[in-house]
Each structure stands twice: as structure tokens, then as C-alpha cells.
Amino acid sequence: MATKDPLIVGVDIGSYAVKVCQLQKTAQGYKLIAIGSATIPPGAVEDGVLQNPDEVGKTIRELFGNLKIKSKNIGISISGYSVIVKKVSLEKMDDASLIEYIKNEAEQYIPFDVDEVYLDFQKLPQKKEGSDRIEIMLVAAKKEIVDDYLKMLNDIKLNVVVVDVDGFALENIWETISGKIENVALVDIGASKMNINIISEGISVLARDIVVGSEQLTEQLANILDIDIHQAEKVKLGTETYNDKENEIAGIYNQTCTQWVLEIKKAIDLYLANNPDKPLQSLVLSGGGSKVSGLAQYIEEETGLKVNAFNPFNRMLVDEKKLHHTYINAIGPEMAIAAGLATRKSPF
């Protein structure tokens, strides 16, 4: 039976596709109600900035229509240059003083004018009992960038009740699904960015967005095969083949995946340098870009870590009449962030 508090609908607006996920909390755990993905025109979302609100709005409206989602309360997440996430260590203080302190002192921690950002923070669990210091995760997001999303979604009659950050939504769904406290590297490879979030003893200790992703592959395939981006996308997804160019294509994959793995290794090395006594137990891969065949094994070989392809739905209840498991498994990896948003309750 469903609980009373309805969950929000998760809407992950990526640079390649919008992903929508609706869950229900039941006594047996989360149940998947609806999922779907729809591509948006190239350039409509760039570096986390909404460039073409009309097209993106239309795509989201159609997706909600096709999925027959009636709920209007949604959660989105942001990423890229317009959002800064920073861990700050402060003297211990009560919550009221903390809010006041952040309001007055945030400027010293962020590279933006405080009047131009939305500020939020979360207290992190204390590492040492009785310590006179506390740690917070400070988040600052540029108002004009967030407001563009809010306006676009308001125009299509959706209420944004949660604005999260991609990396946190990812952490949220992994922790919810795995139910484990483990030292783990979460890596989401999208079309235009890779998000790395290293969780140590249940706390995010290193989070970064890197400007690499699966779009690189498309662009290089288009170049080398002298075809347009749409055709190159088909080659990448295996629906079109160029047998006489196999070596060149393999070369592109090698080069790109090597670069991705280098970035992953850099983050892991930095983490290990600061936490030599807390080795990572595994690496969890998500995002459409993570579906490159052989990538998981390659990362395993290069990092020595066990790599798990993340499917947020494989332990959830599913209405098999409405959703086929082949479809769920196919799009599971790129639904991770939307699923993370979809576990949230409406705060109102």
C-alpha cells in the first residue's frame, strides 16, 4: 500500500536528453511508476545553462503527456559552472547562528557575488565526538541560471519544489538503493560532462564535474567518417555500421575512454592521498556514456576497483504490465539522477 506523502517527480534535464522518473513509496520499498527519456535539440542545454527554453519545455510537456504523469510537483537538479559546492569547517554554533553566519560570510567561500546566488547548506555528520568544530556543505547556485529553469517549468505548469545538485541526487539514489555505508566512487558519464562523487564513510568528500562525455565520441565519429552528428549517433548506438573504418572507430573509442579513465584515476588518487587509510571498495558507473561496451572492464583493469554498472531500479517493485524489464534495464544507467530526485518528498 502506498504511503500518504506523495513523492515528487524527478526531472533530470541533461544536455542530450530529459529524463523523468516517478516512484511511489510502499511498505515493500520503492515502486517504479513511470520512467521515460526524450532527447532535446543539440545546444538547447549547454554547460548546465538553459539556452532554448521553448524546445526543452515542449519536450518535457510531451514526455509528461506520453507517460500520463498527472503530478505537477517536480524536482530538478543543476550542475556545471553556475553551481559551487564547497565543504566548510566552522566553529560549532547553534542552527540560528549558523544561518546568520552563512548569510553574512558566504562571500568569502564562493567566487560569486552573494546577491547573485541562491545559498543552501547541509550540516555534515561530525567526524569526532565532542569536537568544537562543525563541517557544512555549502551550495551556491547562480540565480539567473536557476531562474531560467524555474520560469521554463512554470510556463508548462509544473511546480518545482526541489532544486538539487546532480552529484547529490546521484549520491542519494545510490545510498537509498544500496543501503550500505561504503567507500565508493560514483561516476556518472553523460553526454557533455562526467560527474565524480567520492563517498567515504557515508559523506561526500570529493565532488567534481569534468567537461568530458559521450558527445566527444559522436563528434569524433562524425569527423572521421565524414558524416553528420545524427548519423554518427547511430554509429555510436550500433544501428549503423562502417565496417571498412573499424580500426579508426576503435581508435576513437580507445582515446576517449583512456581520457575518461585518466580523469577518474586523478580523482581517486587525490582522494587516496588525503584518505590513505580509507581505501575505496568499488566504483559505481551511471549515465548514458557509461554504456560504451567494455568500459566497465577497462576501468576495473586501470583502477583495480570492482566496477558496478548502476541500475537504480533493479531492486525496486515494478508494474510489469506497464514497464518491461528490458526497457528498464536499457535506460536504467542514465536514469540514476532522475531516480535520485524522485525519492524526495515534497517539502510543502
Ligand X SMILES: Nc1ncnc2c1ncn2[C@@H]1O[C@H](COP(=O)(O)OP(=O)(O)OP(=O)(O)O)[C@@H](O)[C@H]1O
As a whole number of angstroms, the distance between CA 145 and CA 13 comes to 13
The angle formed by the CA atoms of residues 111, 112 and 117, to the nearest 5 degrees, is 135
**Binding track, positions 208-227, relative to ligand X; x by CB under 6 A:** -----xxx------------
Closest separation in Å from C-beta 287 to ligand X: 4
Secondary structure of 242-280 as H, E, C letters? CHHHHHHHHHHHHHHHHHHHHHHHHHHHHHHHHCCCCCC
Q: Which 192-211 residues touch ligand X, going by CB under 6 A?
A: 192-193
Which positions from 1 through 20 interact with ligand X, judged by CB under 6 A? 14-17
Selection from 88, 81, 73, 75 nearest residue 117 by Cα: 81
Residues in the chain, how many? 348
Nearer to Mg ion, 76 or 153 (CB): 76
d(CA 4, CA 45): 35
> How many residues sit in the footprint of ligand X (CB under 6 A)?
20
Work out how close the CB of 328 gets to Mg ion at its nearest, in angstroms, rounded to a whole number.
18
Three-state secondary-structure class, residue 302: helix
Nearer to Mg ion, 78 or 136 (CB): 78
Between 191 and 268, whose beta carbon lies closer to ligand X?
191
Task: Identify which of residues 150 and 292 has a Cβ nearer to ligand X in the complex.
Answer: 292
Are the beta carbons of 9 and 22 closer than 8 angstroms?
yes
* Sole binder of ligand X in the list 10, 190, 312, 332 (CB under 6 A): 190
Cell of 248: 579508426
d(CA 79, CA 165): 6
CA distance 37 to 59: 10
What, of ligand X, Mg ion, none, does residue 17 touch, CB below 5 to 8 Å by kind? ligand X
- Any residues with CB less than 8 A from the CB of 115 and at least 6 apart, and which? none
- Between 179 and 238, CB nearer to ligand X: 238
Q: Does 344 bind ligand X (CB under 6 A)?
A: no
User: Does residue 75 interact with ligand X by CB under 6 A?
Assistant: no
Instruction: Report if residue 252 touches ligand X, rule: CB under 6 A.
Output: no
Single residue of 74, 222, 236, 252 touching ligand X by CB under 6 A: 236
**14 contacts Mg ion (rule: CB under 5 A):** yes
Among 334, 338, 340, 342, binds ligand X (CB under 6 A): 334
Residues forming contacts to ligand X in the complex (CB under 6 A) are 14-17, 190-193, 213-215, 233, 236-237, 287-289, 291-292, 334
